[in-house]
């Protein structure tokens, strides 16, 4: 390509010289004819008989003068021609050095480089490609690209359509022995001299990267299975505790003890449900809180035999996912609030409604709680009570969630908790 450029420069210079020589000789010839002709006419017109040899003398003198002028012109042109040749030689030498440097860089780069035209004929390869494939450059020149890339038709569709200048994709290259290995390829097309179009491809062997990715994926899969198994065992252990409490409940005669055992059993279920959802789901970090609350409410209805006259509604903002810790704490609080409403809000009332809500405020804050349309409850009485359930709520809100607790008993019972999610739980 570079030799073509140099030859083109030399051709243009020779054409310029030829045109200049032709132009000078044409000027001299025309000027000589005009001058001699005018002098001859002047002499004949004035009948200078004694000067019949004057035109010849003037012509000879003119041509001698013009010869000197042409000589100096030609000397000047020869000097310029020599300077041009020297520049051209220097330019060729510089381009040769640059070409060596470019070839050195291309041959010693970490990526395999190859060029091919839009028909798939290979026109250039570097040493790296030859080394990883086992071919010589001569064996690859003018061969079809499908010899080393069996997926050439995919490349052809991507590149030749010219939808994108730069294209990145994975492919496989084939060695001389017929072995294939994965490569990450960056390819783009370019035009040489505004005529021929080529595709320049850079290929990087990603065999080791793929091997490490496989190891990491396998390791992650094993860890996921192990973590799920841990959650499964925790859930099973909690169910064993729940079963023991249920057995103890059946043996008890004291209604107060039975009631406390039942509460403890449902609290254990609220915790176990988190581990169950994680074990059954695909996400080991976050829990869909809406799914969790619906399952928790359904279980509480069964445990406490809640009749259909009390309607329980769940209002959760779309796609709220909480970490394990926040899910357990939120579930325990809602569990205690729900039990409080079920047992105390609707005494002497035939029907009632309980609304459980949880919303996200901005990107960090969570607001959740419960509202019922029951008889309400004195706030002072609630705060001064020695109920384990209410003490549990206050303790979780203050010390674990570090949130704010709001209570209103003017129209039924309303309780709202706001807290900010810590970064590690997002």
Sorted by where each starts, the structural domains of the chain and their CATH numbers stand as 2-107 (no CATH), 112-205 (3.30.450.20), 214-425 (3.30.565.10)
| Local confidence band at 380 (pLDDT 50, 70, 90 cut-offs) | confident
Q: Are 393 and 329 in contact (CB under 8 A)?
A: no
**What pTM value is reported for the model?**
0.58
Retrieve residue 78's tokens.
């020869």
Tens of pLDDT, residues 215-251: 988 888 888 888 888 888 888 888 888 888 888 888 8
Tell me how far apart the terminal alpha carbons of the chain are, to the nearest angstrom.
59
Contact status, residue 334 vs residue 368, Cβ threshold 8 Å:
yes
286, two tokens:
């976050």
For 115: left if phi > 0, alpha if psi spans -120 to 50, otherwise beta; the answer is beta
Lowest-confidence segment of 190-194, 199-203, 231-235, 411-415 by average pLDDT: 190-194
36 φ, ψ to 5°? -65, -40
Task: Read off the pLDDT of residues 16-75 as tens digits, 9 standing for 90 and up.
Answer: 655 565 566 556 656 665 665 565 556 555 655 554 555 555 556 666 666 666 667 667
């Amino acid at each position: 390509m570079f030799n073509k450029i140099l030859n083109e420069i030399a051709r243009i210079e020779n054409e310029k010289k030829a045109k200049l020589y032709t132009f000078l000789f044409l000027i001299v010839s025309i000027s000589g004819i005009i001058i001699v002709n005018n002098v001859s006419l002047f002499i004949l017109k004035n009948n200078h008989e004694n000067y019949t040899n004057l035109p010849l003398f003037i012509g000879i003198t003119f041509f001698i003068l013009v010869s000197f002028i042409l000589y100096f012109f030609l000397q000047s042109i020869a000097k310029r021609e020599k300077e041009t040749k020297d520049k051209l030689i220097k330019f060729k030498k510089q381009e040769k050095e640059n070409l060596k440097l470019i070839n050195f860089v291309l041959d010693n780069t970490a990526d395999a480089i190859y060029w091919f035209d839009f028909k798939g004929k290979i026109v250039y390869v570097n040493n790296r490609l030859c080394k990883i494939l086992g071919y010589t450059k001569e064996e690859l020149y003018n061969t079809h690209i499908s010899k080393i890339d069996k997926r050439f038709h995919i490349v052809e569709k991507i590149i030749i359509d010219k939808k994108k200048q730069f294209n990145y994709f994975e492919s496989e290259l084939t060695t001389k022995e017929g072995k294939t290995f994965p490569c990450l390829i960056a390819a783009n097309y370019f035009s040489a001299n505004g005529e021929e179009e080529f595709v320049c491809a850079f290929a990087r062997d990603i065999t080791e990267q793929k091997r490490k990715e496989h190891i990491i994926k396998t390791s992650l899969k094993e860890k996921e299975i192990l973590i799920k198994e841990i959650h499964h065992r925790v859930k099973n252990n909690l169910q064993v505790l729940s079963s023991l409490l249920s057995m103890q409940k059946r043996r008890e005669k004291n209604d107060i003890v039975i009631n406390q055992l039942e509460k403890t059993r449902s609290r254990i279920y609220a915790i176990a449900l988190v581990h169950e959802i994680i074990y059954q789901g695909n996400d080991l970090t976050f829990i869909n809180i809406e799914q969790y609350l619906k399952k928790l409410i359904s279980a509480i209805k069964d445990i406490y035999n809640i009749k259909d006259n009390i309607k329980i509604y769940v209002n959760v903002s779309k796609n709220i996912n909480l970490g394990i810790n926040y899910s357990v704490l939120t579930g325990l609080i809602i569990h205690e609030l729900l039990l409080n409403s079920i047992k105390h809000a609707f005494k002497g009332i035939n029907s009632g409604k309980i609304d459980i809500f949880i919303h996200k405020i901005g990107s960090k804050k969570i607001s959740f709680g419960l509202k019922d349309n029951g008889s309400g409850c004195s706030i002072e009485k609630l705060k001064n009570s020695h109920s384990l359930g209410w003490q549990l709520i206050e303790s979780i809100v203050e010390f674990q969630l570090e949130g704010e607790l709001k209570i209103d008993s003017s129209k039924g019972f309303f309780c709202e908790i706001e807290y900010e999610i810590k970064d590690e739980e997002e």
